[in-house]
């Protein structure tokens, strides 16, 4: 069974049993919303939308491309403060730029690889999002948008070089690099975050101030621990 499918099935089961409540709260999603998105990804991965054909052939897979991007935008719109928006967008664009740089300098040749590219995509998204704002939301958005930006760069490169283009955005459906890097990025940020924050014994003063801002904006903190990690 492909890695992406295992990942989504395990997530669906965990969400169903309420074991991912904390993460979902940080993503500002309800369990019903999360399950609906996973369901849409599964069904949508069987549907491709042709955007253009001929020498520049572009298709968009609903489950592997459209739904993850919609979910990333949906999560972004739930950001409450301008700084949160800024951090998420910066880390998403930053992830895209770093990924482009990585794939152009490192060909991940057989036997020349330290770690597979699809895991590196997630690592970059998670690291950048975590450094910028200890944010699980930004990690997810960065993982999805970073891979999308790689596709955009591939399209631009093809147009500039006037070479034939075969672009299938999210074309691998459930096990496309887009979904895997988005979901893995959240897992990495969450596990690293939890270990670091529990070792630290709570959050720092500055982040407490941000929580006050969030609460005054009408959003009540996601948990009763006083930990405001995003």
Stretch that binds another protein, among 3-11, 34-42, 66-74, 136-144 (CB under 8 A): 3-11
Q: Which helix (H) or strand (E) holds 9?
A: helix 3-16
Query: Is 195 one of the binding residues for another protein (CB under 8 A)?
Result: yes
Residue 97 burial (CB < 10 Å; 0-12/13-18/19+)?
A: middle
Query: Is 113 one of the binding residues for another protein (CB under 8 A)?
Result: yes
**Which one of residues 34, 60, 122, 128 is an interface residue with another protein (CB under 8 A)?**
128
Report the alpha-carbon distance of residue 154 to residue 68 in Å, rounded: 19
Count of beta carbons in the 10 Å neighbourhood of residue 50: 9
Nearer to another protein, 108 or 219 (CB): 108
Query: Is 117 one of the binding residues for another protein (CB under 8 A)?
Result: yes
Compute φ and ψ for 221, nearest 5 degrees: -45, 145
Tokens representing residue 56 in the block: 């520049």
Report the alpha-carbon distance of residue 124 to residue 185 in Å, rounded: 8
Stretch that binds another protein, among 35-43, 69-77, 136-144, 165-173 (CB under 8 A): 165-173
Which residues contact another protein (rule: CB under 8 A)? 1-3, 6, 10, 14, 17-22, 64, 94, 98, 101-119, 124, 127-128, 131-132, 147, 150, 154, 157, 163-164, 166, 168, 171-173, 175-177, 190-191, 194-195, 198, 204-206, 223-225
């Amino acid at each position: 069974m492909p890695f992406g499918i295992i990942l989504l099935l395990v997530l669906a089961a965990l969400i169903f049993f309420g074991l991912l409540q904390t993460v979902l709260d940080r993503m500002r999603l309800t369990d019903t919303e999360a399950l609906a998105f996973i369901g849409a990804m599964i069904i949508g991965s069987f549907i491709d939308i042709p955007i253009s054909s001929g020498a520049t052939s572009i298709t968009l897979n609903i489950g592997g491309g459209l739904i993850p991007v919609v979910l990333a935008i949906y999560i972004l719109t739930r950001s409450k403060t301008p700084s949160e928006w800024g951090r998420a967008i910066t880390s998403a664009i930053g992830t895209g730029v770093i990924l482009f740089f990585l794939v152009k300098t490192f060909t991940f040749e057989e036997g020349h690889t330290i770690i597979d590219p699809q895991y590196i995509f997630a690592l970059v998204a998670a690291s950048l999002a975590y450094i910028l704002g200890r944010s699980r939301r930004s990690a997810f958005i960065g993982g999805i948008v970073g891979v999308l930006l790689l596709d955009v760069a591939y399209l631009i490169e093809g147009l500039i070089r006037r070479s034939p283009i075969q672009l299938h955005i999210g074309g691998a459906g459930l096990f496309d690099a887009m979904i895997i890097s988005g979901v893995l990025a959240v897992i990495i940020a969450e596990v690293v975050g939890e270990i670091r924050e529990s070792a630290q014994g709570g959050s720092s003063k500055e982040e407490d101030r941000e929580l006050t801002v969030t609460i005054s904006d009408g959003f009540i903190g996601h948990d009763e621990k006083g930990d405001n990690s995003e």
